[in-house]
Amino acid sequence: MDDVEEKILESSLAYAKSRGFSLNPDKRMLGLVISGLARNEKEKGKPYCPCRALTGNKEEDDKNVCPCAYHLDEIEKDGHCKCRLFFKK
């Protein structure tokens, strides 16, 4: 795991704890999501959710920076966010 991935994992864990969520218990899947976030951070400048397509519209795309604008509703409805990073405990 590189420095960007470690930073994202640490901040995701801290955020999850602060909201009463957990991170994906499937370590392989968790690693894939963290890797995707890190790749977007490196290539696009922000940790955009890897499960969402970017439009090129900055205002719309900024809603997809993790934790995205949609994750709370998704967790409430489905028990996890679309990327399956955050899960309801």
CB 21 within 8 A of CB 86: yes
Q: Enter the tokens of residue 79.
A: 């028990």
Q: Taking the CA atoms of the chain, what radius of gyration do you get in angstroms? A: 12
Q: Which two tokens stand for residue 20?
A: 């009463």
What percent helix, strand, coil does the chain show, rounded to 5? 55, 10, 35
Q: Give 39-67 pLDDT, tens digit per residue.
A: 999 999 999 999 999 999 999 999 999 99
- Kindly tell me if the per-residue pLDDT of 70 is higher than 80: yes
Q: 51-77: string of b/e by CB count within 10 Å (b at 16+)?
A: ebeeeeeeeebeebbbbbeebeebbee
Cβ atoms of 87 and 24 within 8 Å: the answer is yes
- Sorted by where each starts, the structural domains of the chain and their CATH numbers stand as 3-88 (3.90.460.10)
Say whether pLDDT at 81 is over 90: yes
